[in-house]
Amino acid sequence: MAKKKNNNETKNHSNQDVVVTQKLETSPVKNRLYCGYGCRLGLNTVSFLVLFVLGMVLLVNSIMIEDEKILTYHEKSNVDYEVCYKDDEFYHGGCFSKEQNMKYIANLIDQLHLNFTYDFNIEKEEDVDFTYDIVGKLVISDASSNKIYFEREYSLVAPKIVELIQGKQTSIQEKVDIHYDEFNSFANQFHRTYGVNSESKLYVYMNVHKKNRENASYQMDSSTLTYVMIPLSQRAIDISIDSNYVDTSSHVVEKVNVVFESVSMAVVSGILLLLSIVFMIKSIRLLKKSFASKSKYDKYVEKLLRDYDRLIGEAKNLISFEDKEEVYFTRFSELLDVHDHLNLPIMYYNVANHVKCYFYIVTNDIVYLYVVKAVDFK
């Protein structure tokens, strides 16, 4: 049954009800076809899946992951030497190489020419810094217990740096001359001064410290020590020179690297994944609402919107009803009759969530209204 109201009655009615005739801009009504709960849940879910899949595909294509692996390197060091005598009637100041494997007369030795070598090879081109120096250490100790009486170090070669830049191998060669007679005389003087049963040795070390650059994918920080030991204070002819050398293979564990091959693609991927999260949150909220108990009012309104979705458009704003006659219906079927007679769309406007809404048809001078209130269902 329809009830007619003039403009004055409409104003009184608007004071009693919640936002019955809300005055907004007089622009045309913005409307769209109603999309119910299932429709919105489906759209949000599909949007989430599409954006998430596209985002992950772009992300995978934009990065390159290098697996962890063992990086092997080989290092080799050695000391070659030459013993040179003072000039005399037998040897005439000759020099003798390591390969001759001779025994040397101590008081005839003038100089020892030491040649240190160090070679480094790694299976992958890398940046490595090598720092090395050569130090001499004079040690005078007890002949029976080996406890030290005296010890002194001499810098023979100041620290130097060798850089391996994006390479696989490097080589270090360094020569040093030892004035044997000076060290030997010092050791003999110590023995004569204190009269102790001592033995004297001169150790000559080359210490090579290797360390990777900061941008390397692994950690390398170690030292390699190569030395030669030269006996002193020996008058017998069985002088020998003992040396230590290195010939080993080692390895370091290379870290897992994630490298972005295309930054722009990675940025687009991030945007798509963020949007997918937004739609996922919307879907979760809709699912939560579905499990919440709905009021009779909400069920009734949703049923109308679902059953007559082709006839109903949802209005974002409500037009002004001034200068129009308002005709109110008590049943939705009466509004359907007006729609069938005038062939005009039925508009839906949500006045207050879960509380009140309008279904209406607008002509030039009349507004046909069907008002649904939650209070009427209690």
Segment 306-331 shows an average pLDDT of 90
301 found inside a domain: no
Q: What pLDDT sits at residue 216?
A: 67
Q: What is the pTM of this model?
A: 0.51
3-state helix, strand, coil in the chain (%, to 5): 30, 45, 25
Asked if residue 315 and residue 230 are part of one domain, the reply reads no
CB 120 within 8 A of CB 73: yes
297 found inside a domain: no
Asked if residue 80 and residue 56 are part of one domain, the reply reads no
Q: Residue 223, exposed/middle/buried by CB under 10 A (0-12, 13-18, 19+)? A: exposed
298 found inside a domain: no
Q: What pLDDT sits at residue 148?
A: 94
Asked if residue 101 and residue 57 are part of one domain, the reply reads no
Asked if residue 194 and residue 178 are part of one domain, the reply reads yes
92 found inside a domain: yes
User: Which residues on neighbouring strands pair with residue 136, listed in sequence order?
Assistant: 154, 204
Asked if residue 98 and residue 8 are part of one domain, the reply reads no
33: pLDDT strictly greater than 70: no
CB 374 within 8 A of CB 354: yes
Q: What pLDDT sits at residue 72?
A: 86
358 found inside a domain: yes
* 68-72, 167-171, 274-278, 345-349: least confident range: 68-72
**Antiparallel, parallel or unpaired: β 198-212 and 148-179:** unpaired
Q: Rounded to an integer, what distance in angstroms lies between the CA atom of residue 350 and that of residue 373?
A: 11
Total domain count for the chain? 3
23: pLDDT strictly greater than 70: no
294 found inside a domain: no
Asked if residue 160 and residue 101 are part of one domain, the reply reads yes
Segment 13-31 shows an average pLDDT of 35
49 found inside a domain: yes
Q: Rounded to an integer, what distance in angstroms lies between the CA atom of residue 192 and that of residue 361?
A: 126
Write out the DSSP string of 5-47.
Answer: E-HHHHHHHHHHSSSSS-----SPPPEEE---HHHHHHHHHHH
Q: What pLDDT sits at residue 311?
A: 92
Asked if residue 275 and residue 243 are part of one domain, the reply reads no
- The SS3 assignment for 265 reads helix
Q: What are the tens digits of pLDDT across the range 112-155?
A: 999 999 999 988 888 899 999 999 999 999 988 989 999 999 99
Segment 309-328 shows an average pLDDT of 89
Average pLDDT, the chain: 82
Asked if residue 114 and residue 99 are part of one domain, the reply reads yes
| 355 sits in which H/E element | none
Q: Rounded to an integer, what distance in angstroms lies between the CA atom of residue 244 and that of residue 246?
A: 7
Phi, psi of 219 (to 5 degrees): -115, 115
Domain ranges, residue 262: 37-65+257-289
Q: What pLDDT sits at residue 7?
A: 42
Asked if residue 152 and residue 107 are part of one domain, the reply reads yes
User: Which residues on neighbouring strands pair with residue 203, listed in sequence order?
Assistant: 137, 229
Q: Rounded to an integer, what distance in angstroms lies between the CA atom of residue 69 and that of residue 150?
A: 48
371: pLDDT strictly greater than 50: yes
Asked if residue 154 and residue 18 are part of one domain, the reply reads no
299 found inside a domain: no
Asked if residue 60 and residue 139 are part of one domain, the reply reads no
87: pLDDT strictly greater than 90: no
Q: What pLDDT sits at residue 241?
A: 59
| Nearest Cα to Cα of residue 239 among 147, 116, 109 | 109
Q: Rounded to an integer, what distance in angstroms lies between the CA atom of residue 170 and that of residue 226?
A: 17
Q: Residue 35, exposed/middle/buried by CB under 10 A (0-12, 13-18, 19+)? A: middle
Percent with pLDDT over 90 in the chain: 37
- The SS3 assignment for 114 reads strand
Asked if residue 41 and residue 6 are part of one domain, the reply reads no
* Exposure string over 156-172, b if 16+ CB within 10 A, otherwise e: bbeeeebebeeeeebeb
Segment 253-280 shows an average pLDDT of 79
Q: What pLDDT sits at residue 251?
A: 72
